[in-house]
Structure 1
Amino acid sequence: MLSGCVPWDEKTARYYREKGYWEDIGIADMVERGASAHPEKLAIVSGDKRITYGQVMDAVNRLACRLVEAGLRATDRVVIQLPNSPNFIYSYLALTRIGAIPVMALRAHRHTEVRHFINASGAVGYFIPDEINNFDYRQMAESLRPECPGLKYVLVDGEAGSGQHSLKKMIEEEVEQERVAEALGDIRINPDEVATMLLSGGTTSMSKLIPRTHNDYVLNARLCGRAADFDGNTVFMAILPLGHNYNLASPGILATFYYGGAVVLAPSGDPDEVLSLVEREGVSVIAAVIPLIANWLNSNAMDKYDLSSLKVVQNGGARLPPDLRKQIALRLGATPQEIFGTAEGLINMTRLDDPEHLLLESSGAPVCEDDEIKVLNEEGLEVKDGELGELVVRGPYTIRGYFNSPEVNAGAFTPDGFYRMGDIVYKEGRYVFAAGRKKDFINRGGEKISCEEVEDIILQHPKVFQTSLVAMPDDIFGERACAFVRPKFGEMISLDELVEFMRSKKIASFKLPERLEVIDEFPVSPVGKILKKQLRENIATKISAEKEKSLTN
């Protein structure tokens, strides 16, 4: 395995193979296997493009050939920062086809983050668009060269700049089959080698690199697809960035390809664009996040289109409140499916035939029977079912360590190899109930407030469209609760009104928000998560300014 990675021990690896978890194939080989079985089957819909499995693999092999001829080799790292498009898919699969390792950046990342990804991974290549929304990625790539001495290749999906290569041409221009065979014929993928480097979801420091092997990532896709009942008739809509684990393989596009379904690339999350595509393409599954789901349910678009093909709306990134899950079933006619996990490995999913209690309240159960999960208290001892603690995991698709990070690994993993997820949960058997991040609790003078618990109650108020509860600094209690609320269109809400409503729900008084901030929009990450850190900073700054003003008056 690539130097800087922590492999599974031989005994564990042998057990996973004996159990049939690891198939010993590469990611691109997995897709090619399906393409060989049904080359004329629809694989990708993007705008007016309708691309078959055979056409996908033709494009992948053309690009793989050219990448080899350009000098890329197995285990070379390449940062991919492309928008959702067929060329993203071709690029990702072509790199894995030759054993190179895609490092998955998001479109919103800029100079500081990309420099970190290139240097931390040792990347020699960088795949980018030319320009999006008046931002020129070519200029950023050139500005990075002096700070990234290992960077050799910049490939542009569009018009390439000086010293750069046109990815578009490399994909589209025909290549003789003999030339492809000569370039790729001797390449054999080591399934135990790193296939992809994902980014950790940390918001307080630079992302860590998560090395996923071919074996564990194929398994990840396979098991998630099985838990979502994917098959050859699945039509999966991708809206969020394909470079994110959720849309890539949990279950995402790779699970769709594993089971022979079709991927529909949505141009945006706009209700009319999304739901008209559902009608036109017979979409059966959509992967979404809370802001998207809330917008769809708050629009009148559902009345305009035939949504009878839609079977499942998946939610990831943050726990979907039960009320929104109910509305998915009532108003979209689909089953809500909660997906709770981590790019480091473990994925929990509700099953489509779960009883209502689990479907509406839980965060799902692990997708693999050999996912070992425990809930630990602050002393590191396992707690009983129903008691809160930190979720830790070990299993056949959960990493054993971050890339080149021995000091981080010492704190991120238990001595016996369990990954500390940082999520506070409780269990009912194998089902997990998320209560928030380890740091997503407010400590009000020793009383711990679960932000997610209170948010669920606030969202039941008929005037509230979206909310986020965060800690604000306090001289007496250390922290108090501040509720940020985005009201429904045309509505207004006061703190007194909100607190009166919450008292009617008979919750402990210390959990009531003590300040209300009404906002028009929430700051969100590229994958739709509300940026609570930014909200905490905003309210801390505001309180500090108010104190200064009171002192001067």
Structure 2
Amino acid sequence: MSYRLDGGTPWPEEFVDRYWMAGHWRGDTLDGLLRDRARSSGPRTALVHDGERVTYAALNRRVDRRAAGFRQLGLRPGQQVVVQLPNVPELVVVLFALMRAGVFPVFCPLSHRAPEVSALVRLTEAVGYVGPSTHRGFDHTAMVAEIAAEGPFLRRVFTFEAPGASSPYGGFTTDPAGCYYVPLHAVDAPPEPALALSAGQVAFLQLCEAEGEDDDGGDGGGTEPRLVPRTHNDYAYQARAAAERAALTEDDVYLAALPAGADFAFGCPGVVGTLAVGGTVVLSESAEPAACLPLIEREGVTVTALTPAVAGSWLDALPTSTADVSGLRLVQIGGAPLPRGVAERVGPELGCRLQRAFALPEGVLTLTRPTEPDETVHATQGLPLSPDDEIRIVDADDRDVPDGESGELLARGPYTPRGYYRAPELNARRFTADGYFRTGALAHRAPDGNLVVTGRVTPRAGARPRRA
């Protein structure tokens, strides 16, 4: 049985057939990748956080029991649950357990507060929420209690522990709105027979920029969340292909310093790609150099992903740090324009290769190759991930520009979904009639074919219609 998510846009059948025939889509579910890896790499370390070390076998058991616990406590296949957790093992356990239970996780940054979380709940009609009780002084339980009182959807709240005295609701209690509060450690039950999940169906919903931030209307004032439904097939392919581009193996140790629920750190190759090859994921709740540089030495970290700002802070901290970071072999940098000066410092100062990335939650990903010359890595964002990625660079009238000239980057391919969730008007503006996603990025092709992303397309008044 498959559990469909209404409000998504499927790939046309001709493209489904093409991606299957090419071997990009293999029928792998994300939780199935973990289950298979637990069989082949059971004693190996999958996750590290502070003093906790979790093997693949133990991680798979925890996912099994958590999935059964979620079902026992009323979550049903096809429902949606907002997940707002820091970089801790429970984040990985919860995401895979929800997917294994046929429930769709809705990724939510830990920094979001009531307006943003409430909007996610309304848009998705989420029946559940998973988050910390409190985090860095903020009471997440109280926030969720307010959201639950606003509408009929949210009825299950799972947190790290019973809320403190500041919150009126404890574990296994029901508030006046009928919302049930459960500590996560109690979401545990004997494993049940596995559901027959379809790899062609949605695995989770990835959060993108808020409507209005870069859209063609240009007012910048929208707050409606943008969600991209990612299927098991497309995301498993993205993570697997990114792992190949990064030459990731089971001997690698990946440091998740950026939020692990964001696309760059989750699947570029990130957490999913590392687990797929049998490597080790080290989770850090802070990207600060004081936290991460010692981790690199202690855990033998070989690969990580950073933003330009974080990379700059690490480089600036190196002269006064006593940590030995010589085990690093690859640092990915994406998420914002990378100053040339910072790019040129990575290799000499960190003693590793730089991999440039241009990654969007909508499923657009370009990466340089570790073996490319420094000049290519310093000056470009590399090539698209897949041989079946179709890239266009167009002018304001959607005419293809000559190589070397700048225009808006459009993309379609086996890991680029065809639409946002429950957003037909937005889809009409951001996707062409033949399925290309308008990234909003200004780019051009270098002479060697690599892409150079230079900024954002200048907004124009008026919504751009879907073209025939």
TM-score by length of 1: 0.76
Give 2:227's match in structure 1, choosing from 183, 199, 209: 209
| Distance change in 2, residues 1:111/1:257 (3 Å) | same
For 1:434, give the aligned amino acid: V
Q: Is the 8 A contact 1:275 1:302 kept in 2?
A: no
For 2:280, give the aligned amino acid: A
Q: Is the 8 A contact 1:285 1:312 kept in 2?
A: yes
User: Are 1:170 and 2:186 an aligned pair?
Assistant: yes
For 1:406, give the aligned amino acid: P
User: Are 1:19 and 2:22 an aligned pair?
Assistant: yes
Residue aligned with 1:225, SS: helix
For 1:200, give the aligned amino acid: C
* Structure 1 position 378, deviation (Å): 0.7
Partner of 1:292: 310
* Structure 1 position 309, deviation (Å): 0.8
Partner of 1:427: 445
Partner of 1:327: 345
For 2:433, give the aligned amino acid: P
Q: Is the 8 A contact 1:25 1:215 kept in 2?
A: yes
Residue aligned with 2:260, SS: coil
Runs of 4 or more above 6 Å deviation: none
Q: Deviations over 1:13-33 (max 9, x none)?
A: 011111111111211111111
Q: Is the 8 A contact 1:302 1:332 kept in 2?
A: no
Give 1:437's match in structure 2, choosing from 445, 453, 456: 456
For 1:196, give the aligned amino acid: F
Partner of 1:58: 61
Q: Is the 8 A contact 1:319 1:363 kept in 2?
A: no
Q: Is the 8 A contact 1:366 1:430 kept in 2?
A: no
* Structure 1 position 440, deviation (Å): 8.4
User: Are 1:44 and 2:44 an aligned pair?
Assistant: no
- Any residues of structure 2 matched to 1:138-537 within 5 Å, and which? 138-160=141-163, 161-162=169-170, 163=174, 164-170=180-186, 175=189, 179-180=190-191, 183=192, 185-202=193-210, 203=213, 204=220, 205-206=222-223, 207-301=225-319, 304-428=322-446, 430-439=449-458
Residue aligned with 2:399, SS: coil
Larger CA Rg, structure 1 vs 2: 1
* Structure 1 position 273, deviation (Å): 2.0
CA distance in 1, matches of 2:27, 2:72: 26
CA distance in 2, matches of 1:109, 1:221: 26
Unaligned runs of 5+ in 1: 442-553
Residue aligned with 1:298, SS: helix
CA distance in 1, matches of 2:13, 2:349: 50
For 2:353, give the aligned amino acid: T
| Distance change in 2, residues 1:278/1:301 (3 Å) | farther
* Structure 1 position 290, deviation (Å): 1.4
CA distance in 1, matches of 2:433, 2:70: 41
Q: Deviations over 1:52-106 (max 9, x none)?
A: 0011011101100011111212221100011110001100000111121100001
* Structure 1 position 439, deviation (Å): 3.6
For 2:454, give the aligned amino acid: A
Q: Is the 8 A contact 2:403 2:444 kept in 1?
A: yes
Residue aligned with 1:336, SS: strand
For 2:301, give the aligned amino acid: V
User: Are 1:122 and 2:141 an aligned pair?
Assistant: no
Q: Is the 8 A contact 1:22 1:216 kept in 2?
A: yes
Moved more, 269-278 or 244-253: 269-278
For 1:81, give the aligned amino acid: Q
* Structure 1 position 301, deviation (Å): 5.0
For 1:87, give the aligned amino acid: E
For 1:11, give the aligned amino acid: E
CA distance in 1, matches of 2:122, 2:147: 10
CA distance in 1, matches of 2:60, 2:306: 28
CA distance in 1, matches of 2:132, 2:336: 29
Q: Is the 8 A contact 1:75 1:194 kept in 2?
A: no
CA distance in 1, matches of 2:318, 2:70: 47
Q: Give the number of the structure with larger relative contact order, counting CA–CA contacts within 8 Å between residues 6 or more apart.
A: 2
Q: Is the 8 A contact 2:307 2:335 kept in 1?
A: yes
For 1:168, give the aligned amino acid: L
Unaligned runs of 5+ in 2: 164-168, 175-179, 214-219, 461-468
For 1:422, give the aligned amino acid: G
CA distance in 1, matches of 2:194, 2:253: 35
Q: Deviations over 1:137-164 (max 9, x none)?
A: 0000100012231112111122243434
Partner of 2:11: 8
Residue aligned with 1:391, SS: strand
For 1:193, give the aligned amino acid: Q
CA distance in 1, matches of 2:37, 2:319: 36
* Structure 1 position 377, deviation (Å): 0.5
For 1:321, give the aligned amino acid: P
For 2:122, give the aligned amino acid: N
For 2:254, give the aligned amino acid: F
| Distance change in 2, residues 1:6/1:440 (3 Å) | closer
* Structure 1 position 190, deviation (Å): 1.2
Q: Is the 8 A contact 2:390 2:411 kept in 1?
A: yes
Residue aligned with 2:376, SS: helix
Partner of 1:106: 109
Residue aligned with 1:75, SS: coil
Cα RMSD (Å) of the superposition? 1.6
Q: Is the 8 A contact 1:121 1:209 kept in 2?
A: no
Q: Is the 8 A contact 1:40 1:53 kept in 2?
A: yes
